[in-house]
Structure 1
């Protein structure tokens, strides 16, 4: 455990987690437009999204650290780092499209790229350390749920964007 916290990549990973969380949170504007949308009956309460994302980001950071502590090749490290940076960008972009630009149609298209970035991280981590790949599964599941929620919101609110 001591080695885990002394790892030289800890700050980079923590910076990714904090930056993505803060920027995503800043892009999420729950204003009149959002509250006017008809939501699917199965939508989780708004307060739960912050809890879910916090858990996902912690699990993602742990997965990244575990994979880096498992002696990946420099190429694998570069791929993981690139994919997490790309994932953070796509994560924030989804919030920008949905909440700031009020285009759930654009965010749904973009969500496929976000989903693909999570899957790519899992596939790159799999040969390095399977537990790291498994820790990313809640993220993949949540993005899948978010895509379904995004779709249902589009169906229930034609012309609201």
Structure 2
């Protein structure tokens, strides 16, 4: 790997970790307070599990982004895959804002359903030009599917107006 490729590799991972950091701005202060007070399903992992899992997933996303950027960005299918990737990253941040920032299990659920759909589209699109980049997103897809279930269960177990509690 040349110096330029190493730099792109680090930047790609950094972009994804930055998205995680931005999301954690909304998440971290709410874990011991608002989130701790919610009713959760028995299958909900302990709170300490989320940070290392998400960190690993953001690193995998970063490697995937690097591989996408190593593809021919002049091709429309690659450009579309890149746009979808960036969009799912923004929706990922949005989920943290809605669920934790606004304390809305309802809008959080809508955001995670959108994230799931956009992520699936991203994987399918990226698969067309970089199977390794798409495969690296599969653990993230599994985790988002699980998180979607948890979000739904928390929504149902904690009724309120639009799932918003103060």
**Same fold? TM cut 0.5:** yes
Aligned residue for 2:43?
A: 42
Q: Which moves more between the two structures, 57-66 or 9-18?
A: 9-18
SS state of the match for residue 32, structure 1? coil
Matched length: 159
| Greater relative CO, 1 or 2 (CA 8 Å, sep 6+) | 1
1:14 paired to 2:16 = no
Aligned-partner Cα distance in 2 for 1:81–1:70? 10
| 1:24-74 alpha-carbon deviations (Å, 9 max, x no partner) | 110112243221111111101111111111111111111222233344643
Aligned residue for 2:24?
A: 25
Aligned residue for 1:61?
A: 62
What 5-or-longer segments of structure 1 have no aligned partner? none
Question: Residue 86 of structure 1: CA displacement?
Answer: 1.1
Aligned-partner Cα distance in 1 for 2:94–2:73? 29
Tell me if structure 2 keeps the 8 A contact 1:16–1:85: no
Judging changes above 3 Å, is the alpha-carbon distance between structure 1 residues 129 and 79 closer, same or farther for their aligned structure 2 residues? Answer: same
Aligned residue for 1:95?
A: 96
What 5-or-longer segments of structure 2 have no aligned partner? none
SS state of the match for residue 102, structure 1? coil
Tell me if structure 2 keeps the 8 A contact 1:16–1:88: no
Aligned-partner Cα distance in 1 for 2:63–2:50? 20
| 1:81-105 alpha-carbon deviations (Å, 9 max, x no partner) | 3222211211111111111111001
Compute the TM-score of the two structures, normalised by the length of structure 1.
Answer: 0.87
1:137 paired to 2:138 = yes
Aligned-partner Cα distance in 1 for 2:141–2:86? 16
